[in-house]
Structure 1
Amino acid sequence: MKPQPEATVRRSIRRHQLREMVPLADTTIYDMEQRGEFPQRFYLTSRCVVWDLSEVEAWLAERRRVSHTKAVTRAPIPDVQLRKTRPIKRLAQA
């Protein structure tokens, strides 16, 4: 008799476990999911949302790889002189 291949066990993680792995806000993760930049959540029940652990780990590995190749463009530094509230005043030159 031929041995049957072992079934792969796919592990899912809940929101609090995801937060431990990915230190992003819930709204940031949700927005990234909507844009297709983060693994999609799925529902086990009407009140239980989970993510596939292998997909999240693959996403983290890809982010690390891209970061090491310097392909991620950083956000520009905001010009505090343009703020509407609490603008930074320039000091007078002596």
Structure 2
Amino acid sequence: MGQPEKLVIRKTIRRHQLREMVPLADSTIYEMEQRGEFPRRFALSPRCIVWDLAEVEAWLMARRTVPIRRARHPDVTKRKSRPVRGRD
């Protein structure tokens, strides 16, 4: 007979632990999850939502290695209300 397979128990974290690791708003995390840019949460019970710690740590390491493009400043001359005039 073969050896029994080794059971790997993965650690999970709850929302307050996630917020300590990832300083983003809950709404931002939710939107990133919906777009597939953040590890998905899952329910252990109807009132207990958790994230896989290994997935969150891998996401953090990936964010450190890839530079994030900064958002460009808006062109205030194209605003409909109170547009800024160009320099003369």
TM-score w.r.t. length of structure 2: 0.78
The equivalent residue for 2:66 is 66
CA RMSD of aligned residues (A): 2.7
Deviation string 1:9-46 (CA, Å, 9 cap, x unpaired) is 20000000000000000000000000000000000000
Output the CA distance in 2 between the equivalents of 1:28 and 1:14: 16
C-alpha displacement of 1:77: 2.8
Question: Percent same amino acid at aligned positions?
Answer: 63
Output the CA distance in 1 between the equivalents of 2:23 and 2:77: 30
The equivalent residue for 1:75 is 71
Q: Structure 1 residue 12 and structure 2 residue 12: aligned?
A: yes
Q: Structure 1 residue 35 and structure 2 residue 35: aligned?
A: yes
Which ranges in structure 1 are unaligned for 5 or more consecutive residues? 90-94
C-alpha displacement of 1:73: 1.0
C-alpha displacement of 1:6: 3.7
Could you list the structure 1 runs, at least 4 aligned residues long, displaced by more than 3 angstroms after superposition. Answer: 1-6, 78-85
Letter in 2 for 1:76: R
TM-score w.r.t. length of structure 1: 0.73
Which ranges in structure 2 are unaligned for 5 or more consecutive residues? none
Number of positions where the alignment pairs a residue of Structure 1 with one of Structure 2: 84
Deviation string 1:35-89 (CA, Å, 9 cap, x unpaired) is 000000000000110000000000000000102xxxx21012345677788x7x9
